[in-house]
Amino acid sequence: MAPSPSLYSRALGRQMTERLKRWLLPRLAWNQQTYGDVLRGYVSPRVRWLDAGCGRRLLGADLEKLEDGLRDAARQLVGVDVERRTLSKHRNLFDRVCAGLDALPFRDRSFDLVTCNLVTEHLADPRAAFAELTRVLKPGGVLIVHTANVRNYAVVVERLVERALPNRVRLEMGRLSKERGIRDRFPAFYRANSLGKLQSLFTEFGLQMEQARMLAAPQPMFLGFAPLALLELLVMRATSGDRLRDFGAGILIVGRVSRAHWVGESMAA
């Protein structure tokens, strides 16, 4: 028989925070679920798919059924990551390549779909990476980027804390974190992590925007202390509206390579 929640949890802790979340944000969806749902619209038996910076899995934990369905729906799914040990532990990819995103070992126009899930913040040179990501896309191919928003309060707080800690301590914290995983050992630069910067990169590399959405955080950072969590939930609710949407937790942007861009590139070559 499971123990009943403690008085603290019911009054000030996690259980109270969950009640507040259901009250203030009843339609709140996990950003990984939203990202996976968007992927469903672009994955089909005709699609050759590259997951760039694939890490250990396509989606977050507890979305295995959705992840496996997406994998099975594609004609081909290839994962690329700079970390060989991470690749070896991927839960469901058979085709894996160890490489950096600024030097992809694939021919031009190899894929119909390229995805980046929580990768863009780790790019030291976003322009070099986007040049490669679009190079391997076919005319009419789709790039989907899901990443953190540098203007969100949680990212601002995290960056301030990280700057105050020695690099050795930050790496150890990443190593011990079961929730965030191995990918977060890599430094985060946030050099293309606003909606405006991503839109500029998409335009520069011939991608026509099909979707651009700001996503709320799945839960407050102070989940275990309801008074602080309440303040966060109020901020999350405010940034879910149109007026403050630019301060949302995440960015989900989808672009399609225009055929005119590829024609122009071919003529220039």
Contacts of residue 68, defined as CB under 8 A and 6 or more positions apart, other chains included, come to 92
Asked if residue 123 lies in contact with residue 189, where contact means CB atoms within 8 angstroms, the answer is: yes
Does 229 reside within a domain?
A: no
Q: What is the mean pLDDT of residues 209-235?
A: 89
Does 183 reside within a domain?
A: yes
Does 71 reside within a domain?
A: yes
pLDDT, one tens digit per residue, over 24-41 is 888 888 899 999 999 999
Per-residue pLDDT for 182 more than 50? no
Would you state the pLDDT for residue 112? 98
Per-residue pLDDT for 186 more than 80? no
Distance, CA of 236 to CA of 14 (rounded, Å) = 17
Torsion of CA 122, 127, 132, 135, to 10 degrees: 140
Amino acid 128 reads A
Global pTM reads 0.86
Query: Domain with 100 in it: what CATH number?
Result: 3.40.50.150
Would you state the pLDDT for residue 8? 80
DSSP secondary structure letters along 154-178: HHHHHHHHHHHS-HHHHHHHHHH-T
Does 33 reside within a domain?
A: yes
Please give the share of the chain, as a percent, with pLDDT higher than 90: 58
Q: 103 pLDDT band (50/70/90 cuts)?
A: very high
Q: What is the CA radius of gyration of the chain?
A: 20
Counted domains in the chain: 1
Q: What is the mean pLDDT of residues 91-95?
A: 89
Q: What 3-state class would DSSP assign to 208?
A: strand
Query: By residue range, what is the domain housing residue 178?
Result: 25-220+248-268
Please give the share of the chain, as a percent, with pLDDT higher than 70: 86
Would you state the pLDDT for residue 105? 98
Does 18 reside within a domain?
A: no
pLDDT, one tens digit per residue, over 104-151 is 999 999 999 999 999 999 999 999 999 999 999 999 999 999 999 999
Q: 168 pLDDT band (50/70/90 cuts)?
A: low
Does 64 reside within a domain?
A: yes
